[in-house]
Chains A and B, each alone.
Chain A
Amino acid sequence: DVKVTQSSRYLVKRTGEKVFLECVQDMDHENMFWYRQDPGLGLRLIYFSYDVKMKEKGDIPEGYSVSREKKERFSLILESASTNQTSMYLCASSPRPGQRNSPLHFGNGTRLTVT
């Protein structure tokens, strides 16, 4: 069974802090994703990575950066946290999204509050 692990379930940070959200998958998946989910807005893609050291911006990359130094790990970085980044952050992985049997597998989410 695919396991996607996010390092923290809940985080509370102050405005201006640098925040790291870590995600690890154990299935040797090529593709990894970071989403945020807000009420009424659904899931929005922040960044994704299709290979080590490769990254592509999603729909809402502003205020975020990512790092993928190893295949199994994809980190989301909030350079200077702001209150409008309070959200549920979901990491996902997939071997080859877009193929019939390659859906996204999600971690259990990090609920981040920026005060």
Chain B
Amino acid sequence: RKEVEQDPGPFNVPEGATVAFNCTYSNSASQSFFWYRQDCRKEPKLLMSVYSSGNEDGRFTAQLNRASQYISLLIRDSKLSDSATYLCVGYSSASKIIFGSGTRLSIRP
């Protein structure tokens, strides 16, 4: 079993829709979590950190559920420009930064 697992998608949703991804992790020692966004043939870029209390940045909401060992990303009112691959990342130490394989999101007009 992979340490960080994501549904690879693709998720194909209409503009304006709300879409949610989950990411499960198996290492309970993981301390910090992040969501990254990666456009085609580009480097990953930090989207947001994930806190147990939940955090929101505009249309994006991230949540961490330590009891069930998953993190989530919710995108409201999706835009065409949200089309990308979304990577979840778990850290337990400097040598233990685990990336999920990514979830592809495609927003259609």
Residues of A within 8 A of B (CB): 31, 33, 40-43, 45, 48, 50, 56, 58, 88, 90, 97-101, 103-109, 111
Contacts and interface: CB of A to CB of B under 8 A. Distances in A.
Contacts of B36: 103
B51 A106 contact: no
A41 B87 CA distance: 13
A98 B100 contact: no
Given A43-B99, A98-B32, A108 B42 contact: yes
A88 B43 CA distance: 9
B26 interface: no
A94 to B, nearest CB: 8
Interface stretch (B11-19, B65-73, B74-82, B90-98): B90-98
Interface of B: 31-32, 34, 36, 41-46, 49, 51, 87, 89, 91-95, 97, 99-102
- Most chain A CB inside 10 Å of its own CB: which residue of B32, B95, B97, B99: B97
A50 B97 CA distance: 13
Given A48-B94, A98-B92, A108-B42, A42 B31 contact: no
Contacts of A43: 44, 87, 99
A63 B2 CA distance: 24
28 contacts: A31-B94, A33-B97, A41-B101, A42-B87, A42-B99, A42-B100, A45-B97, A48-B94, A56-B94, A90-B44, A97-B91, A97-B94, A97-B97, A98-B32, A98-B92, A98-B94, A100-B49, A100-B51, A101-B49, A103-B49, A103-B89, A104-B89, A105-B46, A106-B43, A106-B45, A108-B42, A108-B43, A109-B42
